[in-house]
Amino acid sequence: MNKEEMRIKEVLRRLKAAYPDAPPTYLHFSNPFEMLIATILSARATDVGVNKVTPVLFGKYPNPLKMAKANVEDLAQIIRSCGAYNRKATYIKDTSRMISEDFRGEVPETLEELITFPGVSRKTANVVLQTVYGIAEGIIVDTHIMRVTVRLHFSQYDKKPDKIEKDLMQLLPKDKWIDYARLIGAHGRQTCKASHPKCSSCSINNLCPSSELDN
């Protein structure tokens, strides 16, 4: 085990103690279909914002078949506050149709199949696989995880999630991929914020090259 592997292992150990109840996602869902649709809606939108509209959306269109038959203008109005609502309305309607017609109404369990859906990126697919099925085919790299990872110097590719993911997959054993996203994501939301990171109260400040404290 090299120095970077030892450092990332210690980072995860400390963050696990700091955020013992960190959830795998902050989106509300009750089944794989809801998780997939909510994740599509979360692109360039906050989890809080998505969680406000999904009860209405799923209350009216609770399954792929009903959402596939929905009027796209009605979908757009329901999800309007999530941004890019016309595009996202088309995405979720077409994705619902594909699930109904091509996957017998079931959300698939592989990354290769998930990314065939409109509006589903590799990150979106990883979120669904990890939070719903507990399957790690990659590492989730959202805004928070990207920021903290670059600050920790585990990757140099600022704002390039695909390259950051590759760096992390080489650095971490596969059985740590889900924990990394969960714990680093929690740290980014609660402590290592975009502006004014709380370095003085950070549990890994002496392991972070970007810490504002003297290491």
Q: How far apart (Å, rounded) are the C-alpha atoms in residues 103 and 131?
A: 20
Catalytic residue, chosen from 88, 93, 142, 167, is 142
The amino acid at residue 173 is P
**DSSP state at residue 138:** S
- CB-based contact 193:180 (threshold 8 Å): no
- Which residues, in sequence order, are CB contacts of 60 under 8 Å at separation 6+? 66, 70, 78
Catalytic residue, chosen from 16, 123, 160, 198, is 123
Q: Is 142 a catalytic residue?
A: yes
Q: Is 16 a catalytic residue?
A: no
End-to-end CA distance of the chain: 23
What positions carry a catalytic annotation?
Answer: 123, 142
